[in-house]
Structure 1
Amino acid sequence: MESAGQFDYIIIGAGTAGCVLANRLTRDKDASVLLIEAGGKDDYVWIHIPVGYLHCIDNPRTDWLYRTEADPGLGGRSLLYPRGKVLGGSSSINGMIYMRGQSGDYERWADACGDDGWRWNAVLPLFRQSEDHHGGASEFHGAGGEWRVEKQRLSWKILDAFRDAAEQTGIPKVDDFNRGDNLGCGYFEVNQKRGIRWNTAKAFLKTAAARGNLTIMTGCHVEKLLIVHSELGPVCRGVQFTGGGTRYTADAARETILAAGAIGSPQLLQLSGIGPAGLLREHGIEPLADLPGVGGNLQDHLQLRMVFKVSGAPTLNILAGNLFGKMRIGLEYAMFRSGPMSMAPSQLGAFARSDPGQPAPNLEYHVQPLSLEKFGDPLHAFPAFTASVCNLRPTSRGHVRIGSADAYAPPKISPMYLNTPEDRKVAADALGLTRRIAAAPALARYKPEEYRPGLQYRTEEELARAAADIGTTIFHPVGTCKMGRADDATSVVDSELKVRGVTGLRVVDASIMPFITSGNTNSPTIMIAEKAAQMIHKAWS
């Protein structure tokens, strides 16, 4: 076993949070940082062309290739569960949608961990400081930061009509979803730069890599954390990992920071003896810190993809249905960096209430001028649009658990979708609301005809069953190393993201969210890393 050396900080995972941390921690010229990434460099062309997510998901070059366990809430189906395995992590393969969530999300976080530093007014400056918004600096947006936010470079008549129909159904038109209350309908803003994906590797890591105090090791699989016993209890001293056929150890003089994401972070903690003692013993691992919450509290947004056939409206199904159309699409992108190849997976968004009694919008729509049976399948041969709707604040909770002590075996992922009556009711109500939007006058000229799930589903019970049949992940897993108070037996980290009962170890990624944000989760993860970097600097200054 070779030594990779000693560093002040070791960061595990060069994904969304890891790239931000590497940038911020290396600003201290006297601090040395090792960044370890299991994937390779982000030099695959399809990472950078926005529509290239189709080639990055379920591709071993860029994806961990996870699958969920058979989910009882989905009729026993197992789902593809993409997670980025490349510099930039999931920001290199995701939908590029810039979304913070709602102010109330962060009020709940602060209440859960007992720290007012996580409230909306406290984290808003963190969002602003890394942002480079197309509209410039304002009360809600930043300019000159690393994280570029632009308008999309396209529009579709069918999406404009859906927006008009949503307004007729009581969902107002808005231009900005990121002011703390995202009620309304409008085109999503995206993390792109002139029609090219803007991932965290470009935004944050490129600058940091030019500094002499950062070492980046790609293609390296972390096997476990190195934990030693002391008078104060377990202490994390570094990591053990393999790369290029060699097994290494690396020592952390100050801290080891786990930024492997909502799947990787709990898995690595459990492999290292930190987690539910019974689970660890079951797999022959000595429990060093009995933390029952490690791997629990898994939350995700389940999208219900409703498909409507239309007449008289151009959609991507028809535009990309022949060689001439594909050539036209490619030429438009090559010349102008616009058109369908610049598309995020979803273009139009809407936030609404599933019923009037909801205190804040609890539904998010991702609307697309296309349709297909499932991800990876060809587009339908008929013109259609898809209106995907998800429950923003699910009450169902799943878990991530190791299936063996083998560090190279994938963990068992059980989201447990639609596992509560509340979630099943919201799903049924969401499908009903989508039908009301489709029936509004603004869409009448396109004669929308429900193709999926189909009009045979009518009652609340039938609609809940339809949700189980068509539901699929929208790729937002969080919460598996949740932040909480000391008296919360299920919390894994405190409000400074330090792992309870283990010195020298923090978790900094989406797994620390006690509750999922009311929207897409990538940019909130950047904010978490910004806040963690400030806390780490303060601890060691």
Structure 2
Amino acid sequence: MSPTYDYIIVGAGSAGAVVASRLSESGAHRVLLLEAGTKGSNHFWSRVPVGTSKMIDDPAVNWCYRSEPDEGSGGRRIDVPRGKMMGGSSSINGMVYIRGQARDYDHWAQLGNRGWSYQDVLPIFKRMERYAGGSDEFRGRDGLLRVTDTPRNKLPLLEKIIEAAGRIGLPFNPDQNAETQEGVGMSQVTIAKGRRQSTAVCYLDPARGRPNLAIEQGALAETLVLEGKRCVGVRYSVEGVRREARAAREVIVCGGSINSPKLLELSGIGQSERLRALGIAPLHELPGVGENLRDHYSPRVKFAIVERNLTFNDNARGWRLAREALKYALFGTGFLASTAVPIRIYFRTREGLETTDATISILPFLYEMVGGVRRVAKRQGITMNVNVLRSESTGSIHITSSDPAAPPAIRFNFLSTEHDRAGVIAAIRKGRELMATSPLKEITGEEIAPGAQIQSDADMLEWVRHNAETTFHPVGTCKMGSDAMAVVDSELRVHGIEGLRVADASIMPMLISGNTNAPAIMIGEKCAEMVLAAATARQAAA
């Protein structure tokens, strides 16, 4: 007989770990958390912030997805890393904590998603974070998620960037998660005392001893169990052995923007003709499943730095690397305790815009691929990840087989709108302007990529097509809304199916203006809040 729980959560990632922690908090509900990965928060490279570079290509902790070739990527397949361990992508990401702009969430609400305006979600952001800076109006002090500022004095180069940005009209912004995002600012990060603060660390580790919370790792979800138009459980496998668990109240899918639509389609929920062609019986028509894929498409603009000891390239090799390792072991500080992106710039690509629409994230080093492995280069320089914030290009994610282990087809369709094409060109030109401004211009050598010979819009766009990568922010494939292509409503309930919700970045109807980890955690918090409110209402009505 299948075990029964009140709630089953599929995926222990940025949102799923939060949902599991909050639903089990009172002790009143029996909760099962399923996670396909086998690694936990004690994984060495996940604990060490610089370990991101070690995990981004590691199939032991990463789904290692790749996109389908298309025109926008110059016929290339682009790497799409996704966390496959406790904490999901919060355990392998760059740890940058950025909420996005107020208008992002107000736009969600204007699309018909009541309860998702900035004023609605701000209290949730404040409740979930523990941050010492900023004002009480915008920042939380006592949450489970520890957020810190990257120190300005890590490298002399950072002060030069701040000064040059100010000279081109982008003043220093001490809190890009407060009233305005515009300007240059130090990255806020989910790092504390030299350790990554994933949702596995902050939410699940304190909850592990609860007798009402069961966690199964190595559990690959194969299909949702439907009885008519109600979801009553999940079938999954552990080391090839099939199992089934039943949910007395709800199943909450938190697989992320790739695995959530994949599971819905494997379960017969999606585009009927597409599923029928794969031998899957269509049980519920929802044409929006897997559609509306968006991500931040980012070329890496690179410049040589001619003065020594200004970048991490000097500190991450030879005896200096040994010194950094000792510094980390003794004090939890230094290069190994840092995000790769300590400083960020948000700006407007043209006059007349109400808010910033593009960003430059600066890595104070050059990296290279050697034998398929990323490593810090010998040459000194900086890398700029540039992208438009609210990309309008949309793609899709769909299964290609009824085999739950088969990766889905990811089609980004990048650069398919004039907005995105014009925006990325303007962002590259802004990066060039920054590096040609004192005091940066005195230490800047050659432009390594795209190179000074690339000047026309057409040439620049062609270079982007053949060289850009994503910033690993896929969203929207189970979008929230009430239109024909929406998958969930404003309560995150799957349209037309009782007892089933989706809670992760896939529900975002539009991209937010920044990294997606902070809003994914917020979505987990808000989902748990809504599920508990529904449970209280049922109890009151009984």
What band does the TM-score fall into relative to the shorter chain? over 0.9
Task: Confirm or deny: 8 A CA contact 2:258 2:397 kept in the other structure.
Answer: yes
Name 2:124's counterpart in structure 1: 126
* Aligned counterpart for 1:450 among listed residues 422, 440, 447: 447
Name 2:176's counterpart in structure 1: 177
Name 1:194's counterpart in structure 2: 193
Task: Confirm or deny: 8 A CA contact 2:272 2:282 kept in the other structure.
Answer: yes
* Aligned counterpart for 1:472 among listed residues 469, 472, 477: 469
Q: In the aligned structure 2, how far is the partner of 1:254 from the partner of 1:130?
A: 25
Name 2:540's counterpart in structure 1: none
More displaced stretch, 511-520 vs 128-137: 128-137
Tell me by how many angstroms 1:330 deviates.
0.8
Name 1:420's counterpart in structure 2: 417
TM-score by length of 2: 0.96
Tell me by how many angstroms 1:75 deviates.
0.5
Name 2:96's counterpart in structure 1: 97
TM-score by length of 1: 0.96
Query: What letter corresponds to residue 382 of structure 1 in structure 2?
Result: R
Tell me by how many angstroms 1:447 deviates.
3.1
The runs of 4+ residues in structure 1 deviating greater than 6 Å are none
Task: Confirm or deny: 8 A CA contact 1:257 1:506 kept in the other structure.
Answer: yes
Q: Give RMSD over aligned pairs.
A: 1.4
Tell me by how many angstroms 1:313 deviates.
4.0
Q: In the aligned structure 1, how far is the partner of 2:52 from the partner of 2:444?
A: 31
Tell me by how many angstroms 1:181 deviates.
2.3
Name 1:142's counterpart in structure 2: 140
Task: Confirm or deny: 8 A CA contact 2:100 2:512 kept in the other structure.
Answer: yes
Tell me by how many angstroms 1:527 deviates.
0.9
Match status 1:295 vs 2:290: yes
Task: Confirm or deny: 8 A CA contact 2:53 2:374 kept in the other structure.
Answer: no
Tell me by how many angstroms 1:372 deviates.
2.3
Encode CA deviations 1:29-50: one digit per residue, 9 max, x unaligned: 2210000000012322010000
Name 1:362's counterpart in structure 2: 357
Task: Confirm or deny: 8 A CA contact 1:427 1:463 kept in the other structure.
Answer: no
Query: What letter corresponds to residue 429 of structure 1 in structure 2?
Result: A
Name 2:505's counterpart in structure 1: 510
Alignment of 1:337-352 (within 5 A): 337-352=332-347
Name 2:517's counterpart in structure 1: 522
More displaced stretch, 54-63 vs 83-92: 54-63
Match status 1:47 vs 2:42: no
Encode CA deviations 1:501-526: one digit per residue, 9 max, x unaligned: 11110000000000011001101011
Task: Confirm or deny: 8 A CA contact 2:360 2:427 kept in the other structure.
Answer: no
Tell me by how many angstroms 1:137 deviates.
6.8
Match status 1:324 vs 2:306: no
Task: Confirm or deny: 8 A CA contact 1:101 1:180 kept in the other structure.
Answer: no
Summarize the Cα distance change of 1:448–1:175 in structure 2 as closer, same or farther, 3 Å threshold. Answer: farther
Task: Confirm or deny: 8 A CA contact 2:134 2:175 kept in the other structure.
Answer: no
* Aligned counterpart for 2:530 among listed residues 529, 535, 538: 535
More displaced stretch, 251-260 vs 530-539: 530-539
Name 1:84's counterpart in structure 2: 83
Name 2:396's counterpart in structure 1: 399
Task: Confirm or deny: 8 A CA contact 1:158 1:313 kept in the other structure.
Answer: no
Summarize the Cα distance change of 1:404–1:275 in structure 2 as closer, same or farther, 3 Å threshold. Answer: same
Name 1:378's counterpart in structure 2: 375
Match status 1:216 vs 2:215: yes
Alignment length, in residue pairs?
A: 531
Encode CA deviations 1:166-219: one digit per residue, 9 max, x unaligned: 111111111101014210101101101111101101101112222111000001
Tell me by how many angstroms 1:424 deviates.
0.9
Q: In the aligned structure 2, how far is the partner of 1:333 from the partner of 1:379?
A: 18
Tell me by how many angstroms 1:113 deviates.
2.7
Tell me by how many angstroms 1:276 deviates.
1.1
Query: What letter corresponds to residue 295 of structure 1 in structure 2?
Result: G
- Secondary structure, in 3 states, of the residue corresponding to 1:404? coil
Query: What letter corresponds to residue 455 of structure 1 in structure 2?
Result: A
Task: Confirm or deny: 8 A CA contact 2:221 2:236 kept in the other structure.
Answer: yes
Name 2:12's counterpart in structure 1: 14
Q: In the aligned structure 2, how far is the partner of 1:68 from the partner of 1:426?
A: 22
Q: In the aligned structure 1, how far is the partner of 2:21 from the partner of 2:446?
A: 50
